[in-house]
């Protein structure tokens, strides 16, 4: 059984998988004590695991890991490692996550935590059974503006929530020469844009407005072929001239939501939206007002509230100290935070969970609930009917 860390304890951490997200986690560990100097544990970068030759060694030299290995199993067996970030591809999440928890390692794992809700439940069960802490990379809910929106909704400032719209549009896969990596394969990438972007959307909708009871969804593949890469890839590499291969999972999902509260919603996500770069956000409407958020203007909210009902204006509100974790990064409202800062917030909450022995931030339970919504979307898209979300 794992125990809470002692005050000021040095905590050995490892990162498994060193693509872009592995780097972001590593930088978050390096920065976390700059923003949270009173954090009871001090992360120490012990080892990085990366199967691509040379990539782990480069990461160790650049970021200060004590060593680099090719096989993640060496991390599970390493007694110096107390906590692990899993930033490997989706199809490896279940095996690695279960193994790390079983080895007594605290786990910070990227969404969607496997390919299905069954995978997420397996990792959640392993974490609970081992008595370790588990955190999940739902970074958008950590934005101070999103947390402020949740507080505003919970306080009844916009009345009873009636309908919600969540959108996640991106062009990262819009180029026809984007390499046919694991992301586009059913067995390794799962449900395509559902796991990649709609997982965030399902979590945001739940975080703001409570559980989702049922969905009806439609999906599509708009670019049915992509060129196969000739070498190892990182991020969204292009492979012009490569042998064409079939895209097996979804480019697009459009979904109607029914919340347990009775509210209605729309969730739409697409990875091939030309002209859209990280166009993520939400609109939440209530009986007395509304609140709006766009990730590209991460530090502000559009808020409409009052007693006018008709012709009621929308005000721009800049978040500041007192909203979420804003004060750990900036001294006053309208000083901008950025994407990487949200991962520092995640690192802080993960490490605080370890130090205190109780969870802070998004947990494996949140991952299971998001994955259950995605599974219901996939079933609905196949059957063309309203589908209940299985808890």
Please give the Cα distance from 207 to 153 (Å, whole number). 11
The pLDDT, as a whole number, for residue 88 is 95
87, 117, 139 — which closes off a domain?
Answer: 139
Residue 175, domain member (yes or no): yes
What tens digit of pLDDT does each residue of 320-367 get?
Answer: 999 999 999 999 999 999 999 999 999 999 999 999 999 999 999 999
Against a cut of 0.75, is the pTM above it?
A: yes
139, 155, 175 — which closes off a domain?
Answer: 139
Please state the rounded mean pLDDT for residues 244-267: 97
Report the mean per-residue pLDDT for the chain: 95
Please give the Cα distance from 197 to 278 (Å, whole number). 10
Residue 65, domain member (yes or no): yes
Q: Is the pLDDT of residue 377 over 70?
A: yes
48 half-sphere exposure, CB direction, 13 A CA radius: 30
For residues 116 and 38, state if they share a domain: yes
Please give the Cα distance from 307 to 372 (Å, whole number). 38
Please give the Cα distance from 176 to 56 (Å, whole number). 30
Q: Is the pLDDT of residue 5 over 60?
A: no
**Banded model confidence at residue 369, pLDDT cuts 50, 70, 90:** very high
For residues 211 and 134, state if they share a domain: no
For residue 270 the two structure tokens come to 């697409």
Q: Is the pLDDT of residue 201 over 60?
A: yes
What tens digit of pLDDT does each residue of 299-325 get?
Answer: 999 999 999 999 999 999 999 999 999
**Banded model confidence at residue 238, pLDDT cuts 50, 70, 90:** confident
State which residues form the domain around 43: 9-139
Residue 342, domain member (yes or no): no
For residues 39 and 60, state if they share a domain: yes
The pLDDT, as a whole number, for residue 240 is 75
Structural contact between residues 204 and 294, judged by C-beta atoms closer than 8 angstroms = no
Among 12-21, 72-81, 229-238, the range scoring the smallest mean pLDDT is: 229-238
The pLDDT, as a whole number, for residue 355 is 97
**Banded model confidence at residue 216, pLDDT cuts 50, 70, 90:** very high
Structural contact between residues 26 and 59, judged by C-beta atoms closer than 8 angstroms = yes
Residue 356, domain member (yes or no): no
Residue 241, domain member (yes or no): yes
Residue 82, domain member (yes or no): yes
The pLDDT, as a whole number, for residue 7 is 53
**Banded model confidence at residue 126, pLDDT cuts 50, 70, 90:** very high
Residue 277, domain member (yes or no): yes
What tens digit of pLDDT does each residue of 35-86 get?
Answer: 999 999 999 999 999 999 999 999 999 999 999 999 999 999 999 999 999 9
For residues 198 and 100, state if they share a domain: no
Among 118-127, 176-185, 327-336, 366-375, the range scoring the smallest mean pLDDT is: 176-185
For residues 148 and 135, state if they share a domain: no
What tens digit of pLDDT does each residue of 99-125 get?
Answer: 999 999 999 999 999 999 999 999 999
Contacts of 46 (CB under 8 A, 6+ apart): 12, 13, 14, 65, 66, 67, 78, 80, 81
For residues 208 and 179, state if they share a domain: yes
Give me the number of domains the chain comprises.
2
Q: What is the CATH number of the domain that holds 33?
A: 3.40.50.720
Residue 95, domain member (yes or no): yes
What tens digit of pLDDT does each residue of 129-170 get?
Answer: 999 999 999 999 999 999 999 999 999 999 999 999 999 999
């Amino acid at each position: 059984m794992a125990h809470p860390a002692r005050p000021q304890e040095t905590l050995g951490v490892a990162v498994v998988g060193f693509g872009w997200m592995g780097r972001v986690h590593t930088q978050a560990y390096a920065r976390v004590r700059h923003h949270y100097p009173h954090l009871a544990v001090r992360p120490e970068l012990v080892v990085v695991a990366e199967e691509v030759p040379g990539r782990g060694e480069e990461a160790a030299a650049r970021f200060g890991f004590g060593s680099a290995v090719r096989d993640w199993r060496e991390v599970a067996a390493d007694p110096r490692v107390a906590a692990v970030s899993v930033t490997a591809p989706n199809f490896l999440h279940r095996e690695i996550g279960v193994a790390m928890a079983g080895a007594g390692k605290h786990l910070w794992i990227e969404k969607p935590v496997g390919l299905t809700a069954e995978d997420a439940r397996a990792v959640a069960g392993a974490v609970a059974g081992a008595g370790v802490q588990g955190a999940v990379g739902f970074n958008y809910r950590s934005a101070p503006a999103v947390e402020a929106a949740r507080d505003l909704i919970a306080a009844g400032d916009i009345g009873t929530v009636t309908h919600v719209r969540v959108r996640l549009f991106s062009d990262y896969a819009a180029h026809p020469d984007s390499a046919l990596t694991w992301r586009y394969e059913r067995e390794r990438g799962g449900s395509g844009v559902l796991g990649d972007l709609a997982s965030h959307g399902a979590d945001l909708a739940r975080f703001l407005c409570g559980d989702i009871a049922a969905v009806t969804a439609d999906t599509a593949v708009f670019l049915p072929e992509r060129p196969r890469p000739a070498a190892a890839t990182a991020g969204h590499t292009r492979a012009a001239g490569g042998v064409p291969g079939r895209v097996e999972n979804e480019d697009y999902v459009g979904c109607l939501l029914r919340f347990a509260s009775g509210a209605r919603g729309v969730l739409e996500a697409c990875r091939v939206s030309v002209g859209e770069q990280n166009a993520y956000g939400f609109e939440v409407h209530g009986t007395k007002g509304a609140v709006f958020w766009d990730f590209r203007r991460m530090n502000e909210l559009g808020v409409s509230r009052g007693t006018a009902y008709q012709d009621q204006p929308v005000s721009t509100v800049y978040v500041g100290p007192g909203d979420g974790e804003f004060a750990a990064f900036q001294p006053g409202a309208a000083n901008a935070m950025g994407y990487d800062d949200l991962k520092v917030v995640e690192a802080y909450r993960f490490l605080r969970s370890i130090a205190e022995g109780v969870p802070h931030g998004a947990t494996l339970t949140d991952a299971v609930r998001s994955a259950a919504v995605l599974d219901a979307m996939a079933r609905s898209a196949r059957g063309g009917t309203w589908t209940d979300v299985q808890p």
